[in-house]
């Protein structure tokens, strides 16, 4: 969703509040694509401070469907987003303006891009369906939370690999 803020930028010290909702249907990153299952409309506060700075504030929450890092079961993850940005309106070539280019161009504010960047910053590093998730079997792929498998779970010691090769050579057939 893009918001036209020409009126706000043309009048010094003007404040506007707008009810907005993101149009994001999925969150795409290097880790994959995660569908947005819930999104809440929120109040976005915009303030032009003496035609020098633009203050952007708002709070919302977005829920993504993310696979568990151990068993790959889909888990709903609620991400609370607090937007508190301050952008310079004076220097078009400033570092701050370059960072904001993804969501602020000319007189348009791209709310979806703003929310995307906030999700990127606030997304949890590790997602688990439960603290005691057992994961999946390395051999057959069975979800160990649902049922047990008959695979040999014994892990050979990698330091003994050379000796195991010797035993394999002299094994009687």
Residues 20 and 66 in one domain: yes
Residues 58 and 82 in one domain: yes
| Per-residue CA distances from 125 to 31, 68, 90, 119, 128 (Å) | 11, 11, 37, 12, 10
Domain that holds residue 151: 136-173
- Which tokens hold the place of 43? 């109040």
Bridging pattern class, strands 74-88 and 53-67? antiparallel
- The predicted-structure confidence for 29-64, as pLDDT tens digits, reads as follows 888 899 999 988 888 898 888 878 888 899 999 999
Q: What is d(CA 163, CA 150) in angstroms, rounded to the nearest whole number?
A: 27
pTM over 0.75: no
Given the structure tokens 């918001």, which residue do they identify? Answer: 3
Residue 128 lies in a domain: no
- The predicted-structure confidence for 114-159, as pLDDT tens digits, reads as follows 889 889 888 998 999 999 999 998 888 889 889 888 887 777 777 7
Q: What is the chain's mean pLDDT, rounded? A: 83
Number of separate domains in the chain = 2
Residues 97 and 155 in one domain: no
Closest listed residue to residue 56, CA positions, set 117, 137, 128, 146: 117
Residues 111 and 74 in one domain: yes
């Amino acid at each position: 969703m893009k918001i036209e803020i020409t009126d706000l930028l043309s009048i010094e010290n003007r404040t506007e509040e707008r009810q907005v909702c993101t149009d994001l249907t999925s969150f795409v990153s290097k880790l994959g694509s995660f569908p947005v299952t819930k999104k809440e409309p929120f109040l976005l506060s915009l303030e032009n401070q003496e035609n020098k700075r633009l203050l952007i504030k708002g709070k919302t929450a977005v829920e993504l469907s993310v696979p568990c890092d151990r068993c790959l079961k889909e888990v709903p993850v609620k991400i609370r987003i607090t937007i508190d940005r301050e952008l310079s309106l004076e220097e078009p070539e400033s570092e701050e303006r370059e960072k904001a280019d993804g969501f602020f161009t000319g007189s348009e504010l791209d709310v979806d891009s703003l929310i995307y960047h906030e999700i990127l910053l606030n997304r949890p590093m590790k997602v688990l369906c439960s603290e005691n998730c057992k994961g999946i079997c390395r051999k057959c792929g069975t979800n160990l939370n649902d049922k047990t498998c008959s695979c040999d779970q014994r892990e050979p010691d990698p330091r003994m690999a050379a000796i195991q090769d010797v035993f394999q050579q002299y094994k009687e057939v």
